[in-house]
Amino acid sequence: MNLHDIDKIYENGFESFKEPPPAALWERLDNSLDAIATAYKKPIAAWLRNSFFVLVGAIIMSVIIYFSTKEKYFNIQSQNAITQNSTQNPQIKKTISKTITEKEDNNSITGQKTNEKANSKTQKLNNYKEEIVEKSYQNKVTKTQTYNQKNNLNITFIAKAESKTTAKPIVQETNNLGMIDSESNNKQNKKDFFANLPCPSRVKANFPLLEIYNTKLQLNKRNEYKLQAPTGGKKNTHITSLAVDLTIGASQINNSFKSKENFETHTDYRKANESQIFTPSYNLSLKYTFDHLSITTGLSYANYGEKTNYQIDNLLYDTIPYLLKIDDIIWEYVLVGYYQDPNNSDIWYPIVEAQPKDTTYSIWTERDTIIKTINEYKNKNSYSYFEVPVLVGYSINHKRFNFELSTGISFGFLTKSKGYILSATNSEIVENSKDYLPLNKTSLNFLLVGGVSYNFSKRFSIILQPYYKKQLTSMFESSYPIEQKYSSYGINGGIRFLIK
Amino acid sequence: MVTDKKIISGCVEGDRVAQRELYEKYSPAMYAICIRYSKDRFEAEDILHDTFMKVYLNMKDFRNEGSFEGWIKRIVINTALNHKQKTKNNNYHQNFDNIRETEILDQNNEHENDEIDIEFTKDELVNAIHDLPCGYRTVFNLYVFEKFKHKEISEKLEITESTSKSQLRKARILLKKKLLNETIVKKLAI
């Protein structure tokens, strides 16, 4: 039998070789498939869970803010509603119509042009509406005064100014109502204001009267009052708003390294063997706008990380002893033990001893080489953060669109990390956790956020926000020789709810 | 009889029945390959397990362009080669022990021209191949069964061509010794 017969024996012997595996193997596979199925479900569940929490948080926050601020501010809309209600009243309508007709007749005598007449007509109509509202309001006040006196009611009410900073209470302790009708905030007018109140009352007004300039108290059936800005009154010179944004987005993550010491080999290797990933982000933010300027804060859930494809060489020295012929003496190298590389636990060197051998053995003319094996570690690293941004921005409005640009910082808190990365010495793969790596628990980021929103209803807008984010602090503590920072750019989309 | 196409589409959807059918259909042939590449049946089971997990998880990547069995077979072989790397340390001592026998075998050249008139059972062939050092077994499998050239083997295992040739030769020597011993035992029994 020569050596090549072996090939034929095996080829023929295994030609139709099949053997059913043990029955237990399917059960093992079945269990593994179940485990995989569960593992695949988890990220979906996490997405749903996180989205749910963010959504519930946004709703709760919106409701709290809405109701806590609702009573604090002027409700301009309600005044408009009064006007509309007044004009819907047939009696009032009739009065308006009659008055307008009389005025028009007078105007027609002057012989002005038709356009001027139309403008004048509109202006006058508005004026008459205000008069009607005024009368209607005074009627209500009189009726309520009568009612209160009759029932001996001691009414306390709170009226609030337009902005939060100037919101101070007015307390009226009698059963009479006051009409705030001051022209300015100087002391004399303030004095006049109190003096001109329609009935004896004591009013404590700690806020600048300008803030309630030309405002009126509106009475409702429950004896609660609100300050109202009447139609035609002097408008506030500043536009302020408060909004809640709820957005979800995706971003591309980039990783940058810097070697503090001589670890360039490590950083170069990681640069070459790690690739970018896309990660989701969830954001809930509160935006206060004062004219064109805005301040934004909130809470974000962001992920960073990378895909790794490390290939770690394992050098296995062939342990086969060999024969060597030197000066016609055959030496045999015999393995007597093993020696572990102190710098790399994966490498074992054979310890061989040379022994002269008088033999007629065939001499192997080639020496067996080092067997190099490569272990592949494919993995996806992930670092999850809760982040609190603080941004200042500038925005402009155009019709229903709003364009904005904000910049600032965000504070991050590491909540979870998973995966494996190459150790700084390139010798092993270590778990990506605080137990094995000196991960920084916090981070500081620079943020640049653009945005465009489209207002599709009175309170709701669709928003789209491209952004750039860069970590200013390293992922690792200062003791670690590698400085690693992530940067990301992406886009968020969602809705904006205008609280006020 | 359920066709491969139906089984594949079922597996892509994660249907456990389809996965079981696929396993029942292909596991005997694949297990045989695993046995050839492993040192024992326990290791073969591990390789087969990993193979089918890879098959199930990557089923969507199969493009129906070639033989499905061929695709699984490639996965088996790659899994077996990866498995070999994982268990390298265990093979260390085994290599040495077997090499000592090689020297003895070289002295027994009297069997060179013996005619083999006894057929070997599957178990005998399997046992002989299991006794090979891991590296020899791998090269022997790739060369004899998968019909790889030495150049291809050297690229796949990242060894030199001469190492591949050397290991194939040594594998054949060891197998020959094993089988001759079996023959002698059988002849004596007769």
What tens-digit pLDDT sequence spans chain A (500 residues)? 677 778 888 888 888 888 899 988 998 888 888 877 766 555 555 666 766 777 787 778 777 766 665 544 433 333 333 334 444 445 544 544 444 444 444 544 445 556 676 777 777 777 777 777 667 666 766 766 676 667 665 443 333 333 333 333 343 333 333 333 333 445 555 555 555 544 333 333 333 333 333 333 433 333 333 333 333 334 445 678 889 999 999 999 988 888 876 777 788 888 888 888 999 999 999 998 888 889 998 899 999 999 888 877 665 544 454 555 556 666 666 667 777 777 777 777 767 666 666 544 444 444 444 555 667 778 888 999 999 899 999 988 887 888 999 999 998 888 888 888 888 777 677 888 877 788 888 899 999 999 999 988 878 899 999 999 999 999 888 888 888 899 999 999 999 998 87
Residues B76, B114, single domain; the answer is no
Domain count, chain B: 2
Answer whether B20 sits within 8 Å of A26, measured CB to CB.
yes
- Helices B16-37 & B41-57 angle (0-180, nearest 10): 140
Q: Which two tokens stand for residue A288?
A: 């206060």
Range of the domain at B164: 101-189
The amino acid at residue B109 is: N
Q: Are residues B125 and B179 in the same domain?
A: yes
d(CA A104, CA A87): 19
Which of B14, B23, B120 lies at the smallest CB-CB distance from A37?
B14
In a domain? residue B93 = no
Q: Are residues B81 and B106 in the same domain?
A: no
CATH number of the structural domain spanning residue B40: 1.10.1740.10
Q: Which helix (H) or strand (E) holds A3?
A: helix A3-13
Q: What CATH number is attached to the domain comprising B116?
A: 1.10.10.10
Give the residue from B27, B58, B87 where a domain finishes.
B87
Has residue B23 been placed in a domain? yes
B94 in a structural domain = no
Kindly state whether residues B111 and B83 are assigned to the same domain.
Answer: no
In a domain, B69, yes or no: yes
A196: enclosing H helix or E strand: none
* Residues in chain B within 8 Å Cβ distance of A375: 85-86
Among candidate residues B45, B62, B87, the one where a domain is terminated? B87
Task: Give the Å distances, CA to CA, from A232 to A121, A134, A229, B165.
Answer: 16, 12, 9, 100
Whether residues B121 and B41 fall in one domain: no
Q: Same structural domain for residues B39 and B82?
A: yes
Say how far apart CA A146 and CA B161 lie, in whole Å: 112
Q: Do B125 and A14 form a contact (C-beta atoms < 8 A)? A: yes
Q: How far apart are CA A403 and CA A152, in angstroms?
A: 55
Judging contacts by C-beta atoms under 8 Å, the chain B residues touching residue A30 are: 16
What DSSP line would sit under A121-163, residue for residue? HHHHHHHHHHHHHHHHHHHHHHHHHHHHHHTT---------SS
Of B27, B111, B144, the CB nearest to A20: B27
Q: How many CA atoms lie within 13 A of B152 on its CB side?
A: 10
Does B77 share its domain with B106? no
Q: Three-class SS of residue B64?
A: coil
How many angstroms away from the CA of A383 is the closest CA of chain B?
25
Domain boundary among B87, B121, B148: B87
Give the residue carrying structure tokens 């007769």: B190
ipTM over 0.85: no
pTM of the model: 0.39
**In this structure, are residues B125 and B145 in contact, taking their beta carbons and an 8 Å threshold?**
no
The verdict on B64 and B40 lying in the same domain is yes
- Residues with Cβ within 8 Å of A349's Cβ and at least 6 positions away in sequence, in order, are A317, A338, A339, A340, A341
B116 and B162 housed in the same domain: yes
Q: Is residue B150 part of a domain?
A: yes
Q: Is residue B182 part of a domain?
A: yes
B121 and B55 co-located in one domain: no
Do the Cβ atoms of B31 and A28 come within 8 Å? no
Angstrom distance (rounded) from CA A89 to CA A102: 20
Chain B, nearest residue to A319 by Cα:
B96
Give yes or no for a contact between A198 and A138, defined as CB atoms under 8 angstroms apart: no
CB contact under 8 A, B120 and A17: no
Q: Are B65 and B145 part of one and the same domain? A: no
Flag whether B95 is in a domain. Answer: no
Shared domain check, B183 and B115: yes
Q: Is residue B180 part of a domain?
A: yes
| Element housing A421 (H / E) | strand A420-422
